[in-house]
Amino acid sequence: MLVFTLTNNVTDEVWVGTCKDSCEERFTQFKKAMTLGIKAQIYKDLRDYGAKNFTVDDFAMANDREELAELFNEALDTYGGLSLQGVKTSLRSTAPIKAIATKNRSVSPMTASSSVKNTKSRPAKEKISKGRTNNSAKEKLIKERMAEEKVEREMVKKKQEREQADEMAQIIARLDARGSTLAKR
């Protein structure tokens, strides 16, 4: 399971999402869903700026759902990003509720106001791998990229911390200098 970022190169907005195997496949899924007219901010941005103005990057790889949630939240915090969780990628509606017969009552499966849907044959969707990949070389490559990106993120974080420390030192020095001149008056 992967956490990925989708960066709008025009506005520098960062969208954070998750996928099972490939973030590029997930982005392709978003591009296809964009043409369906689903109302979501990501699709509006894709239509307005064009898919070519978006960059897809892996953020981290998780081994379980808890780690995935932690990494997802970390990515949101790191980039100040927007979440892709819950964004629909198809017009498919939910399945109708089946009637459940109980001893005391029964629920009708359909009401008079509900309509019968046309059953059109849909093209078969490409099967997406669930969980881990079967290719150990691919897994190793993904893990190496994740490790490199983690090192880069840590370097950026340390650089920001140094800059903040320098800025604080300058502020404190100015306050000390101002305080000493006030004492002389």
Task: Establish if 103 belongs to a structural domain.
Answer: no
What is the distance between the alpha carbons of residues 147 and 120, in angstroms, rounded to a whole number?
46
Q: Total domain count for the chain?
A: 2
Task: Establish if 112 belongs to a structural domain.
Answer: no
Structure tokens at 151: 């090192």
What is the distance between the alpha carbons of residues 174 and 78, in angstroms, rounded to a whole number?
30
Q: Is it the case that residue 184 has pLDDT exceeding 50? A: yes
Q: Which residue has the tokens 């392709």?
A: 28
What CATH number is associated with residue 27?
3.40.1440.10
Q: Is it the case that residue 132 has pLDDT exceeding 90? A: no
Task: Establish if 117 belongs to a structural domain.
Answer: no
Residue 146: alpha-carbon gap to chain centroid = 16
**Cα dihedral sign for 93, 94, 98, 100?**
negative
Residue type for position 172: I
Task: Establish if 100 belongs to a structural domain.
Answer: no
Mean pLDDT score, 159-179: 90
CB 38 within 8 A of CB 108: no
Q: Is it the case that residue 5 has pLDDT exceeding 80? A: yes
How much is the pTM? 0.48
- Residue 59 binned pLDDT confidence (cut-offs 50, 70, 90): confident
Same domain, 70 and 3: yes
Q: Is it the case that residue 71 has pLDDT exceeding 60? A: yes
| Average per-residue pLDDT for the chain | 78
The parent domain of residue 85 ranges over 1-90+128-132
- Cα angle 58, 64, 67 (rounded to 5 degrees) comes to 65
Higher pLDDT, 132 or 159: 159
**Cα dihedral sign for 80, 82, 85, 86?**
positive
SS (H, E, C) 48-62: HHCHHHEEEEEEEEC
Q: Is it the case that residue 85 has pLDDT exceeding 50? A: yes
Higher pLDDT, 22 or 156: 156
Reported as half-sphere exposure (CB side, CA atoms, 13 A), residue 39 has a value of 0
| pLDDT > 90: percent of the chain | 15
